Amino acid sequence: MSLIDRMIAYASTGDWADCQAYLAAHPPGDAPEEQSSHATWSVRAEIGLHRLDDALHRLDATAGRFQCRCGLSYLRSEIYWLKGEQSAAIEALRSAPWSEEMGSFPGLAKETMFLYCYFLAKAGREAPPKLVQAIPEDYRAILFDGSRVGKADLLAAIEQNQKHQQSQTTA
Amino acid sequence: MTQSEELVRRCDDHLAAHPIGAEMAFVGGFLTLGSGTRLAKLGAPLDEPRLAALLTSAHGGPIEASCLTHVRRAVEIWRDGDRALALTHLALSGLAKLGEPLEGARRLFFADALMDANVAPGVIVEELTNETASGGAPAAKYSPDQPRAPAGSPDGGQWTQDAIGPLKAPVADRPKSPSAAQQIALVLPDGCEQEWARAREICSALLMAPNPPRGQTGGYSDINNCARGFASERCGGNPVRRSK
């Protein structure tokens, strides 16, 4: 069974302790992809076990192994979001290199771009219009709690903010 | 008096007796439009095919899936108590206001009555989508006088080929229009968010690899579509899991 298949099996059942034990017992080889995958799943296991500070430490310690920098930002944002630190979660996304990785890691580049705009809008802050415009109309993302949202939700949140600001101005 | 004439008479009586709302409104536990036609019941699972058929009828032509998404979100959010955001979604749908209130209300009434008479919502959407150019209102195209397949049969309640003269093929053989298919969505049952959360965890990790394994991601490069392969069909995932 490949590492990926094994990780999917652990993740599907939520056996994160076993997942972590397996990863500890099977260090990665020298190949960058192997190291990146091992680092990713190791952080994922810590998050699954709700050891969020440990997850953050592991993320920092292995940041150099991540090939997908947007993925690094995504995991960091998720950890802060789970810790209840919304501003830090947004800030983590802001540093994601969307444009650089749109060709090599489009999934994480688009997701971090969407989440950055969405979290900003939901926090009552302005989402960069150019980024919002760049998100496809039919794009759907999955939030860290598993709920799915689309661009329509993002636009609604932005419009609500604008109305709120207008009412504040007129008042 | 034929059933068609009876339906028209009932419609005229109804419109005369009820004020016509040009805009969608949340009234008495329902989302309503026109002469009080109930588009959706708050707190109940949303019947999206029916909603799509009613809105298609109200506006006299095809509607975008994204517009329907806004309406669905409005119903969900109103139910959860955020009324301002719900109204914002209604406004963003672009469907909240009828261009021709009286005609829209009339078409809504007919579509509602036809579905009450077991006409499948998809048939109404499809016909209005395909036949908008002909300018016919639902009642002009469908009639309760026309024969329908017997209830309980696979096509139960749907108009037979003989009944729908303009149709070129039996209902079951006609291709579904993309807009109709896109408009049909599901309200997620309990436990599904957890399924999607796990699917997200898997797919986000898979897609961080430079060459994500196509066998697991289904070849998709975005998390949502990849995750469909790891969520059950009950929760809106793919009907058949890909080989792993």
Strand order in the sheet with B37-41: B21-27, B30-34, B37-41
The residues with which B33 forms a beta bridge, in sequence order, are B37
Give B-chain residues touching A141 at CB under 8 angstroms. Answer: 223-224
Return the residue matching tokens 């929760």: B235
What ipTM goes with this model? 0.94
* Domain edges within chain B: 3-183, 192-235
Average pLDDT over residues B52-74: 84
Provide the pairing of β-strand A140-142 with B30-34.
Answer: unpaired
On whether any CB of chain A is under 8 Å from the CB of B80, the answer is: no
Residue in chain A closest to B90 (alpha carbons) equals A156
Which stretches of chain B are assigned E, i.e. beta strand?
21-27, 30-34, 37-41
| Contact criterion met (CB < 8 Å) for B204 and A37 | no
pLDDT tens digit sequence for B41-59 = 888 888 888 888 899 888 8
Q: How confident is the model at residue B242 (pLDDT cuts 50, 70, 90)?
A: very low
Selection from A79-83, B30-34, B233-237 with the highest mean pLDDT: A79-83
For residue B182, is pLDDT > 50?
A: no
Q: What are phi and psi of B74, to 5 degrees?
A: -60, -45
Q: Which of B122, B114, B111 is nearest to B177 (CA)?
A: B122
Give B-chain residues touching A67 at CB under 8 angstroms. Answer: 208-210
How far apart CA A41 and CA A11 sit, in angstroms, is 9
Return the residue matching tokens 């419609």: B11
On whether any CB of chain A is under 8 Å from the CB of B68, the answer is: no
A159-163, B47-51, B182-186, range with the lowest pLDDT = B182-186
Q: What are phi and psi of B21, to 5 degrees?
A: -95, 120
For residue B133, is pLDDT > 70?
A: no
Q: Under a CB-based contact definition with an 8 Å cutoff, are residues B119 and B159 in contact?
A: yes
On whether any CB of chain A is under 8 Å from the CB of B208, the answer is: yes
Q: How confident is the model at residue B169 (pLDDT cuts 50, 70, 90)?
A: very low
Mapping DSSP to helix (H, G, I), strand (E, B) and coil, where does residue B148 land? strand
Which stretches of chain A are assigned E, i.e. beta strand?
140-142, 148-150
Provide the pairing of β-strand A140-142 with A148-150.
Answer: antiparallel
Return the residue matching tokens 């291709």: B175
